[in-house]
Amino acid sequence: MAYGRKISGGRYHKQRKSKKYELHNPERHTQLGETKTKQLRARGGHTKTIILKTNVANVMVKGKAKQVKITNVEETHANRFYARQNRLMKGALIITEAGKARITNRPSQEGQVNAILVQ
């Protein structure tokens, strides 16, 4: 049978509309550029800081966190076109002043970029 149809051919109808808290936020990818953040209202009146653009990452160097400048995005496993667009996301390989690093957090959700050096 066709999807969304009964055996008799009639359509299934939704019981109700979606509630506001059930809706999804639009996807926001962090890009390489001058730092730009945005405050969002989260559930319960809390605020969430998301980062839209940044050129700084917190990189672990010899067991200590160091803030270094990002120069380029080399590779992204999620989608190779994201690397060409210099989008920062979890698992992406970035080139920094300290060397190659892999992003370990989700910058679009957390408001900062954390990474570890890759040899």
Could you tell me the residue range of the domain that residue 111 belongs to? 27-117
pLDDT, average across residues 20-36: 90
Instruction: Please report the pLDDT score of residue 27 as a whole number.
Output: 86
What is the full DSSP assignment across 8-34? TSPBP--SSPPPGGGSPPPP--EEESS
Confidence of residue 91 (pLDDT cuts 50, 70, 90): very high
Instruction: Please report the pLDDT score of residue 102 as a whole number.
Output: 97
Percent of the chain with pLDDT over 90: 66
pLDDT, average across residues 87-115: 95
**The total number of structural domains that make up the chain:** 1
Any domain includes 15: no
Average pLDDT along the chain: 92
Any domain includes 68: yes
CB-count exposure of residue 76 (10 Å: 0-12, 13-18, 19+): buried
Any domain includes 47: yes
Any domain includes 4: no
CB-count exposure of residue 100 (10 Å: 0-12, 13-18, 19+): middle
Confidence check: pLDDT of 20 > 90: no
